């Protein structure tokens, strides 16, 4: 049982919801990474999703794309991020999940990447461009090293595929809430709640909703239907503008009410 499984076990026992913020490694310089992570942990984040800057981020909307560009312009590299995580891991107690694409991993070398990520204390990987049919190139070695592959399902995924994908994981299932790329939105499809409940019903692991969540009211609404939320673009935007109170308000919304997981 790695840190991801343990933290969700604790949430279930305490009847609480998960809040996973996303930050772009190297946005503002790698020297700011420790400060951001420790702030988020102190504010009540369940885990931290750390984006690796990449030149062709097909799942990312404008806010995260710009954050990636700023990070790359600051000289951020995957090896640099790995070294920084290893440096700060002893003072960070919650799970750390990398969100990246397969190209940087393959350029690094899959075996070397997993070995270094494991040594650094990375607990999970989100790989948006890795279909289930091809995950054997990395999933077995990752999971043998204690790193969980966090799999995604979408609004258009048939129930049979959702069941198949959910059955492969031990961490949590990432339920994408929109048809499209990341980015803050004012509202969601009125059928989304039913969809999330269906995913939760067939999934043996916790279900977290992500993409487009940008307001405390969104957090509270999603938590009525699943086990927690992932918030990316809004967190990136709030860090960029220095609005730490706004980040704390989003995290606080995840604790507004306790509903059985």
CB neighbourhood size of 48 (10 A)? 24
Q: Contact at 8 Å (CB) between 99 and 49?
A: yes
Q: Which one from 16, 27, 49, 227 is the annotated catalytic residue?
A: 49
Note whether 67 and 74 are within 8 A (CB).
no
- Whole-Å CA distances, 70 to 15, 27, 32, 61, 239: 39, 6, 13, 14, 13
Active-site residue flag, 49: yes
Catalytic residue selected from 16, 27, 60, 143: 60
Strands in 173-176's sheet, in edge-to-edge order, are 148-150, 124-126, 96-99, 48-51, 18-24, 228-231, 207-210, 173-176, 152-153
Residue of 31, 37, 33, 76 whose CA lies nearest to 53 = 76
Residue positions annotated with a catalytic role: 49, 60
């Amino acid at each position: 049982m790695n840190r991801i499984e343990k933290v969700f076990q604790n949430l279930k026992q305490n009847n609480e919801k998960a809040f996973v913020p996303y930050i772009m490694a190297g946005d503002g310089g790698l020297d700011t990474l420790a400060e951001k992570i420790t702030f988020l942990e102190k504010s009540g984040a369940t885990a931290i999703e750390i984006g690796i800057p990449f030149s062709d981020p097909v799942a990312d909307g404008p806010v995260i794309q710009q954050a990636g560009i700023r990070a790359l312009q600051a000289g951020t590299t995957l090896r640099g991020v790995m070294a920084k995580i290893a440096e700060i891991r002893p003072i960070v107690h919650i799970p750390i999940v990398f969100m990246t694409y397969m190209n940087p991993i393959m350029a690094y070398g899959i075996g070397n990447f997993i070995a270094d990520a494991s040594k650094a204390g990375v607990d999970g990987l989100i790989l948006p461009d890795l279909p289930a049919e091809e995950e054997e190139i990395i999933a077995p070695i990752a999971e043998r090293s204690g790193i969980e592959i966090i799999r995604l399902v979408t609004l258009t995924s048939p129930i049979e595929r959702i069941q198949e994908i959910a059955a492969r994981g031990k961490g949590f299932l990432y339920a994408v809430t929109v048809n499209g790329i990341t980015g803050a939105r004012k509202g969601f499809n009125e059928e989304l709640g039913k969809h999330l409940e269906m995913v939760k019903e067939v999934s043996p692991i916790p279900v977290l909703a992500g993409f487009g969540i940008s307001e405390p009211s969104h957090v509270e609404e999603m938590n009525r239907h699943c086990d927690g939320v992932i918030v990316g673009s809004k967190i990136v935007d709030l860090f960029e503008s220095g609005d730490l109170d706004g980040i704390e308000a989003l995290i606080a919304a995840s604790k507004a009410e306790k509903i059985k997981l």
